[in-house]
A and B are shown apart, each in its own frame.
Chain A
Amino acid sequence: MSPALLDGAVAASTEQMEYVTFRLADQWLGIPVMVVQEVLIAMRIARVPMAPEAIAGFLNLRGQIVTAIDLRTTLRLPSREADAEVMNVVVRHESELFAFMVDEVGDVVSVPNDAVQPTPATLDLRWRTACTGIVRRDGGLLLVMSVHEVLRLDYASG
């Protein structure tokens, strides 16, 4: 991430937040730019036998262990094709690193806080738990995901 980008986030007024957007199947989601450490293209992932299905394994990020989580599995979306491209959004949460495996990473967007609305009650419970709000924008809906909540989902049965 460029320093300019970080500075931008810090300088952002309290009324808006910047989000790193990414796509899972047809849905675009965003997580606050501040929690994102970097975005990686596909990396060798060491799988962990017996780990919950959504835990793809560990990757070695310059000597640091990163837990790779396939958000498609986590959010109960159909698995991607074997040769489909995967991007890793690396986030730091409570001094631990996680890589969210997503289909595509988009732009960093700035969203006014008052544009974030509560998630609709019709949304699947797992999605509703993971996402804290929804934003209408030109390209369609953007779900605002909470890293904290995603990591608290039940993985063992997921």
Chain B
Amino acid sequence: MDDLLRDFLTESGENLGKLDNDIVELERNPGDVARLNSVFRTIHTIKGTCGFLGLARLEGVAHAAENVLDSLRAGRLQVQADLIGDILAAIDTIKFVLLRLEQTETEPEGDDAPLIARLETWLALDGRSAPAPDAAPFAAMPNLPVLPNIPTQVASGIPLAAAASVAPVLVPSTSARADALAAPEASAFVAHDGAEHRDNRRDGLDRRGQADLVSDGRPGLSESTLRVGVDVLDKLMNLVGELALGRNQLLQLTTSQEESPFAKPVQQLDRVTTDLLEAVMKTRMQPIGNAWTKLPRLVRDLSQSSGKQIVLSMHGAETDLDRQILQAIQDPLTHMVRNSADHGIETAVARRAAGKPEQGTIRLSAHHEGGHVVIEIADDGAGINASRVRRKAIERGLVKADVAEAMPDAQILRYIFEPGFSTAEQVTNVSGRGVGMDVVRSNIDAIGGTVELSSQHGRGTTVRIKIPLTLAIISALLVGTAGESFAVPQIGIVELVGVTEEQRGLVEHVHGAQFYRLRDTLLPLVHLRTLLRLEPCDVQVSYNIVVCQVGEARFGLVVEHVFDTQEIVVKPVGRLIKHLQAYAGCTITGDGRVIMILDTGGIATLANVASNETRDEVERAAHQAAQARAAAQADAKESVLLFDAGYPALQAVPLSLVARLEEFALSSLEEADGRFLVQYRGALMPVVAANPDMDLRAMDPRPVIVFSDRNRTLGVAVNEIRDIVEDSLHLQRRAARPGVLGIAVIAGRATEVIDTDHFLRQANGELPGHAAANISDDPGRHPAASLAPVAAA
């Protein structure tokens, strides 16, 4: 049987198994969007694949069912018994066809017209005709289904390691082998277990080798390869992990003793253990090319059916990675290559018009980078139109319009990973329903990897996936807070920032949340101590921020101590703990302690720093903070003039705004037209009272603060100049009284910071009840603009 067909059958069989149940559940609980999405994806995948395989009957039924499900997703149709019945009927037909395919490798004869007609009746009810299959690349889809935003569970995926340890043994049974002997081709599939067969592309080869061995004892290929149960490998892995821990303990003991007789043997043990660890890790490794074998065919078929000229070039197929991870990335890779071929690469005509070679290229490459494998899927196609994505994101309510407009294109492109997001205008046979990128993202997230997408409109798109080499042993940073230690998986860490006492000023407080000003961005801070409800301890003078990346969101995890980076063996947490989102597992350190591995994704959720709303909130907060910063000069210290104006609290003004401090004799104050003026440096300067209740004549001489803005000056009369202090002008409260910007704590006392703008307007007669003091050379210009940056708040 054709590999492609066999894979399709296995995969579909697995998915259909749970589909019945899903649909029944959906009927019981129509609001279950996640389930609806999952059902839709399954049908979508089946439909997509049978397109390549030329299974017309299957495709027809799946397409009809998919359309109905799509309407359900979009909320144009409601879940109801009859409808569910029809979908189940469609699934039964699909199952039947699949069963016959498995037996005969051809689709059975049959007429699905009545079923399809019934399904289409539902579509007619929603007032929208079924979209015709069409291969228009990168067109926007009309009536894009609006889905509520489903938060994707961002797990670092470490629990997968736990799942693997209980995976069934996948050594073929003797009866299956006997079947294989009897009818090697047809029954090969039956003997296959999904996971087994997916994990090894050389499967057929091995199997035949075994068959040879069984039949005549002739040594075959199996001599150099041996099928071993995954659980055996997992157990080996665990044991070696333990051995490594024991070794670490021994090393600690011997290095603390000088001239220990154990030093030499322990050194030997150390070397052997390291080699053993590597060798065992290798048993789980497979070249990534194993996950690529289907792709050339897929691209060829696609280019034929769409009339495009596409070449797939592959590089680094020999790059090794853990089999478990290999499995996890297989589907995402297929999705993305399919996307590139279907949406990315243009038709030969369009390419020629754009001045590009007629033949489009999809470049697939893999290489090791540190403890990770980096996979890139790059095409030289049309690229993604960022403004279209922006529009869609706004339409779908994923982002506020003003925020979206301000976002750089690179950031906007990330919305492609949202569930149900598609910019395709027409639904094609292959893709374009917005299923795909969200699946890609959640699959990659689940194994602790990251996806980045970059695209240049007209030039092509590159998707870069970074995944860990293995899930069983990860590199982690050990941190400490409140006397406890924790491990943070290295893959989620972007950088470390040490905050000393002097740098505390970089921490902003907005709406009760803390942000750290990291270069140009505001990083939301999550205090591990607070989040995990640990006992508070003495205030630390300095602390560390572990900058974590979760999907699109970044946040800073605040801890007191950062220790070292270690390779740790991930162990699952028990059932009584696993509901705690903060943890991805636990591990045993070299000295035998058990410490928890933090799940940065879970922490982001717990601290609510990763959701879309929060992201918007952060954008807004960032904006506000920037303004507040400009206004209050944040926590930076500056010289502040303190004076008494007859109010209970002292008044303050930044010294930088003050031109001079003067005292005018009462005799020099001239009263004209209800205003006070003084001859000052050859001009008439208005003098206003800092407090309206103040009688300017009551004091001789009168202290006056002179503000100057180029050729305009203003005197503000006060009772007494008190002091000039160095402090931060951090406005804590707004003030009700006009003329006061707000209240700040200066030199340990609540002090009113005056609004110089107010006095300028008063002097200019812009405030009611005051006559204009038109001394300005340029009356049209707003006097406050450059004189009073404080007024910007």
- A→B interface (CB under 8 Å): 44, 46-52, 55, 57-60, 62-63, 65, 67, 69, 95-96, 98, 151, 155-156
A62 nearest in chain B by CB position: B242
Residue B586 CB within 8 A of the other chain: yes
A150 to chain B, nearest CB (A): 11
A117 to chain B, nearest CB (A): 30
B606 nearest in chain A by CB position: A50
Residue B595 CB within 8 A of the other chain: yes
B529 nearest in chain A by CB position: A49
The answer to whether B594 touches A60, judged by C-beta atoms less than 8 angstroms apart, is yes
From 558 to 589 in chain B, residues with beta carbon under 8 angstroms from any chain A beta carbon are 571-577, 579-580, 582-583, 586, 588
B247 to chain A, nearest CB (A): 12
Q: How far is the CA of A85 from the CA of B245 in the complex (A)?
A: 29
The answer to whether B534 touches A52, judged by C-beta atoms less than 8 angstroms apart, is no
Q: How far is the CA of A151 from the CA of B245 in the complex (A)?
A: 30
Check A49/B577 contact, CB under 8 A, given A44-B593, A58-B586.
no
Residue B202 CB within 8 A of the other chain: no
Q: Which residues of A contact B577 (CB under 8 A)?
A: 48, 51, 55, 67
The answer to whether B582 touches A50, judged by C-beta atoms less than 8 angstroms apart, is yes
The answer to whether A59 touches B576, judged by C-beta atoms less than 8 angstroms apart, is no
Q: Which residues of A contact B242 (CB under 8 A)?
A: 62-63
The answer to whether A48 touches B580, judged by C-beta atoms less than 8 angstroms apart, is yes
A147 to chain B, nearest CB (A): 13
Q: How far is the CA of A48 from the CA of B143 in the complex (A)?
A: 49
A82 to chain B, nearest CB (A): 16
The answer to whether A155 touches B532, judged by C-beta atoms less than 8 angstroms apart, is no
B81 to chain A, nearest CB (A): 35
Check A55/B576 contact, CB under 8 A, given A49-B533, A65-B586.
yes
Residue B166 CB within 8 A of the other chain: yes
Q: How far is the CA of A67 from the CA of B573 in the complex (A)?
A: 8
Residue B596 CB within 8 A of the other chain: yes
Write the B546-564 contact mask toward A (1 if CB under 8 angstroms, else 0): 0000000000000000000
Known: A52-B576, A62-B242, A96-B575. 7 other contacts (CB 8 A): A48-B583, A49-B533, A49-B582, A60-B592, A60-B594, A65-B588, A67-B577
Q: Which residues of A contact B583 (CB under 8 A)?
A: 48
Q: Which residues of A contact B575 (CB under 8 A)?
A: 96, 151
Q: Which residues of A contact B594 (CB under 8 A)?
A: 46, 57-60, 65
B593 in complex: contacting residue of A46, A63, A98, CB < 8 Å: A46
Q: Interface of chain B, helix or strand or loop or mixed? A: loop
Q: How far is the CA of A118 from the CA of B166 in the complex (A)?
A: 37
Residue B105 CB within 8 A of the other chain: no
The answer to whether B576 touches A49, judged by C-beta atoms less than 8 angstroms apart, is no
B243 nearest in chain A by CB position: A63
A155 in complex: contacting residue of B576, B582, B588, B593, CB < 8 Å: B576
The answer to whether B166 touches A95, judged by C-beta atoms less than 8 angstroms apart, is yes
Q: Which residues of A contact B495 (CB under 8 A)?
A: none
Pairs A–B under 8 Å by Cβ, sample size 30: A46-B586, A46-B593, A46-B595, A46-B596, A48-B577, A48-B580, A49-B484, A49-B532, A50-B532, A50-B533, A50-B582, A51-B577, A57-B594, A58-B574, A60-B588, A63-B241, A63-B245, A63-B246, A63-B588, A65-B572, A65-B573, A65-B574, A65-B588, A65-B594, A67-B576, A69-B576, A95-B166, A96-B574, A98-B574, A151-B575
Q: How far is the CA of A139 from the CA of B572 in the complex (A)?
A: 41
Q: Which residues of A contact B582 (CB under 8 A)?
A: 49-50
Q: Which residues of B contact A62 (CB under 8 A)?
A: 242
A44 nearest in chain B by CB position: B593
The answer to whether A50 touches B574, judged by C-beta atoms less than 8 angstroms apart, is no
Q: Which residues of A contact B596 (CB under 8 A)?
A: 46, 48-49
Q: How far is the CA of A41 from the CA of B577 in the complex (A)?
A: 23
Q: How far is the CA of A156 from the CA of B579 in the complex (A)?
A: 10
Write the B475-489 contact mask toward A (1 if CB under 8 angstroms, else 0): 000000000100000
Question: Of residues A47, A48, A57, A95, which shows the largest number of chain B Cβ atoms within 10 Å of its Cβ?
Answer: A48
A129 to chain B, nearest CB (A): 16
A67 to chain B, nearest CB (A): 4
Question: Of residues A47, A50, A59, A95, which shows the largest number of chain B Cβ atoms within 10 Å of its Cβ?
Answer: A50
A157 to chain B, nearest CB (A): 12
B596 nearest in chain A by CB position: A48
A67 in complex: contacting residue of B574, B592, B595, CB < 8 Å: B574
A55 nearest in chain B by CB position: B576
Question: Of residues B241, B576, B583, which shows the largest number of chain A Cβ atoms within 10 Å of its Cβ?
Answer: B576
Q: Which residues of B contact A55 (CB under 8 A)?
A: 576-577
A52 nearest in chain B by CB position: B576
Q: Which residues of B contact A58 (CB under 8 A)?
A: 573-574, 586, 594
A47 nearest in chain B by CB position: B484
B581 to chain A, nearest CB (A): 9
Question: Of residues A57, A58, A59, A67, which shows the largest number of chain B Cβ atoms within 10 Å of its Cβ?
Answer: A58
Q: How far is the CA of A125 from the CA of B569 in the complex (A)?
A: 41
Q: How far is the CA of A36 from the CA of B484 in the complex (A)?
A: 31
Q: How far is the CA of A95 from the CA of B576 in the complex (A)?
A: 14
Q: How far is the CA of A140 from the CA of B582 in the complex (A)?
A: 45
From 491 to 550 in chain B, residues with beta carbon under 8 angstroms from any chain A beta carbon are 532-534
Q: Which residues of A contact B573 (CB under 8 A)?
A: 48, 58, 65, 67
A-B pairs, 10 with minimum CB distance: A49-B532, A46-B594, A63-B242, A67-B574, A58-B594, A65-B571, A60-B594, A60-B588, A50-B532, A96-B574
A79 to chain B, nearest CB (A): 17
The answer to whether B593 touches A51, judged by C-beta atoms less than 8 angstroms apart, is no
Q: Which residues of A contact B571 (CB under 8 A)?
A: 65
Q: How far is the CA of A9 from the CA of B666 in the complex (A)?
A: 109
Q: Which residues of A contact B484 (CB under 8 A)?
A: 47, 49
B583 to chain A, nearest CB (A): 8
Q: How far is the CA of A50 from the CA of B580 in the complex (A)?
A: 8
B165 nearest in chain A by CB position: A95
Q: How far is the CA of A44 from the CA of B592 in the complex (A)?
A: 10
Q: How far is the CA of A88 from the CA of B586 in the complex (A)?
A: 21
Q: How far is the CA of A52 from the CA of B573 in the complex (A)?
A: 14
A46 nearest in chain B by CB position: B594
Q: Which residues of A contact B574 (CB under 8 A)?
A: 58, 65, 67, 96, 98
B575 nearest in chain A by CB position: A96
From 92 to 110 in chain B, residues with beta carbon under 8 angstroms from any chain A beta carbon are none
From 454 to 478 in chain B, residues with beta carbon under 8 angstroms from any chain A beta carbon are none
Write the B152-168 contact mask toward A (1 if CB under 8 angstroms, else 0): 00000000000000100
Question: Of residues A49, A59, A63, A69, which shows the largest number of chain B Cβ atoms within 10 Å of its Cβ?
Answer: A49
Q: Which residues of B contact A63 (CB under 8 A)?
A: 241-242, 245-246, 588
B245 nearest in chain A by CB position: A63
Q: How far is the CA of A151 from the CA of B578 in the complex (A)?
A: 14
A7 to chain B, nearest CB (A): 27
Q: Which residues of B contact A44 (CB under 8 A)?
A: 592-593
The answer to whether A60 touches B533, judged by C-beta atoms less than 8 angstroms apart, is no
B291 to chain A, nearest CB (A): 31
Q: How far is the CA of A51 from the CA of B580 in the complex (A)?
A: 7
Question: Of residues B573, B575, B594, which shows the largest number of chain A Cβ atoms within 10 Å of its Cβ?
Answer: B594
The answer to whether B576 touches A151, judged by C-beta atoms less than 8 angstroms apart, is yes
A60 in complex: contacting residue of B576, B579, B580, B593, CB < 8 Å: B593
A45 nearest in chain B by CB position: B594
Q: Which residues of A contact B572 (CB under 8 A)?
A: 65
A55 to chain B, nearest CB (A): 5
Q: How far is the CA of A55 from the CA of B166 in the complex (A)?
A: 24
Q: How far is the CA of A151 from the CA of B684 in the complex (A)?
A: 88
Q: Which residues of A contact B586 (CB under 8 A)?
A: 46, 58, 65
